[in-house]
Amino acid sequence: MVATIKGGIILIRNKTLAFFRINIVHLLRLPFVRKARNRDILSIETPEQLCCEVQEFHCGAIKRILREITSFLKGAILNTFTPAFLVILVPLLLLWELLPRFGIVNYALIPSLSTVLLTFWEMLAQRQFLHDIGDSMVKFFAGLGLAIVVAVPLGVITGWNVAIRKRILPLFQMLSPIPPPAWVPITIIFFGVGFPMQTFLIFLGSFYPILFNTFGAVKDTEPRYLASARSFGASEFTLILRVYIPSALGAIIMSIRSGVSAGLIMLVIAEMYGGSSGIGFVLNEARSFFNVPRMMVGMMTLGFIGWFLVEILKYAESKLVVWKGGR
């Protein structure tokens, strides 16, 4: 099958080689061509690269996704655990292991690292802890997702339009100083104890940081860009889509980052106050049994989840906001 695309441009070594008509077998099915069509341009350095891209396509989607995930994990781990940091981290971990072991600190209050890791391993083997993590994550992503879906558009609209801002924003500015944990009692009365109440509390925690940061970033869009797009004829809708949002995108992703940390706080509070499963519940349970290693496992799991989500957001930013890099 020979596919034809009209108006494509192939750049080889940055020179325009051929445009307006390219015939290559299966060309249209190649993802990089499709991508190129969206971005109006297909830039490859050498003819060999074309072959590479073709091969890469044939190696299948799953493999490519795996490759992407690997590169993300590698980047996240290598960027955090740099040699410079390990020099600090390893002695700290050693202290944690040795001080309780030699009785310098109270072993019952601070169990050594190996004990905690062993407890972690046992908990994983019991499966119950995995269910708890899964449970917490479902609630967390439901709450955070809801917050993103509501707060980002609201922030964009209030950042864009002064009239809407004046009508809507003061309401949230009045409600936001109420600390989210203060909402717990009334939420329990409204929703009872369980999933809706926990999701709502997580939503509440991450909603305000996302809303206000998105709003601020959109409001501070460089007026020159707006003037320039308007003078070319942009409608307000196009301005929102092609100027306000792209210019604020980095800040929006970072606002989700603060939403993640606020959401995690609310996750723990919600599960401690009302729930029969989840990491917060495990923490509470461990307290009543005075099981310090179990508490520490719960805390470290939460810390790891937060770190991991932030790394994902950083990766998303680096992929979506490619244009920010300098020369």
Partner 1 sequence: MYAINVDNVTKFFSVINEDKTASGFTAVSSVSLKIETGKIISLLGPSGCGKTTFLEMLGGLQAPTEGSVYVDGKLVLETPPSIDSTKKEKRAYKRKYRFISPLANSMWRNRPKHDIAMMFQDYAVFPWMTVFQNVIFALKLRNVPKRERRERALHQLKKVGLDNALSKYPAQLSGGMKQRLALARALAVQPKVILMDEPFAAVDILTRERLQDELLKLIDETDITIVLVTHDISEAVYLSDEIVVFSANPGTIRNKFTLDIKRPRRRNSSEALEYEERIQSLLKYETKHLGDYAI
Distances (CA, A) of 217 to 146, 244, 317: 20, 9, 15
As measured in angstroms, the least distance from the Cβ of 249 to partner 1 is 8
Select from 102, 68, 101 the least CA-distant residue to 315: 68
Q: Which is nearer to partner 1, 161 or 176 (CB)?
A: 161
Instruction: State the residues that interact with partner 1 by CB under 8 A.
Output: 6-7, 9, 11, 14-16, 19, 39-41, 43, 161-164, 222, 224-225, 227-238, 242-243, 246-247, 249, 321-327
Q: Which is nearer to partner 1, 71 or 228 (CB)?
A: 228
Which helix (H) or strand (E) segment is 12 a member of? strand 2-12
As measured in angstroms, the least distance from the Cβ of 88 to partner 1 is 34
Output the CA angle 8-12-18, nearest 5 degrees.
40
As measured in angstroms, the least distance from the Cβ of 319 to partner 1 is 13
Rounded Cα gap, residues 73 and 60, in angstroms: 20
> Is 13 within 8 Å of 23 (Cβ atoms)?
no
As measured in angstroms, the least distance from the Cβ of 34 to partner 1 is 16
> Is 130 within 8 Å of 188 (Cβ atoms)?
no
Q: Which is nearer to partner 1, 126 or 228 (CB)?
A: 228
As measured in angstroms, the least distance from the Cβ of 65 to partner 1 is 25
Q: Which is nearer to partner 1, 127 or 327 (CB)?
A: 327
* Residue 163, amino acid: A
* Residue 105, amino acid: V
Rounded Cα gap, residues 19 and 53, in angstroms: 19
| Residue whose pair of structure tokens reads 């390990």 in the numeric block | 86
Select from 112, 121, 113, 212 the least CA-distant residue to 171: 212
Record the tokens describing residue 90, joined without a space. Answer: 């390893």
| Residue whose pair of structure tokens reads 């959401």 in the numeric block | 263
What contacts 22, CB < 8 A, 6 or more positions away?
4, 5, 8, 10
As measured in angstroms, the least distance from the Cβ of 42 to partner 1 is 9
> Is 101 within 8 Å of 112 (Cβ atoms)?
yes
Beta bridge partners of 6: 21
As measured in angstroms, the least distance from the Cβ of 159 to partner 1 is 14
Q: Which is nearer to partner 1, 11 or 312 (CB)?
A: 11
Rounded Cα gap, residues 293 and 45, in angstroms: 56
As measured in angstroms, the least distance from the Cβ of 234 to partner 1 is 5
